[in-house]
Amino acid sequence: MNVNRTNYFKQIVDWIDKYVCDPADLTCVDIRLERVNVSNLKIYISLLKKIELIILKNKKYVINWYYEEGDEDILEMGEDISFLLNMPFNLIKVNNVRSLQD
């Protein structure tokens, strides 16, 4: 992993670590991926495990996993991660992931 990506993910990890100490009553996490490699997948799983700590603060979270219509790989990945972490995901089919960014 190059230095820029490492720094980018470190900033996210640091922010989540701080956030879970005093989270909102409801935390909504929207995940929109077009492709994933194995090293990034490990990072995403690690980040989601941190989000799960919100439960320890008697707060709630919602994970919305968006996948593009016809993209069975991203859909299955969401299902697998949800099962692996025993975290409920809302699996949401969209016509075009890019359109959600606007």
The pTM score is 0.83
Contacts of 64 (CB under 8 A, 6+ apart): 28, 29, 30, 31, 89, 90, 92
**pLDDT single digits (tens) 16-72:** 999 999 999 999 999 998 887 887 888 889 999 999 999 999 999 999 999 999 999
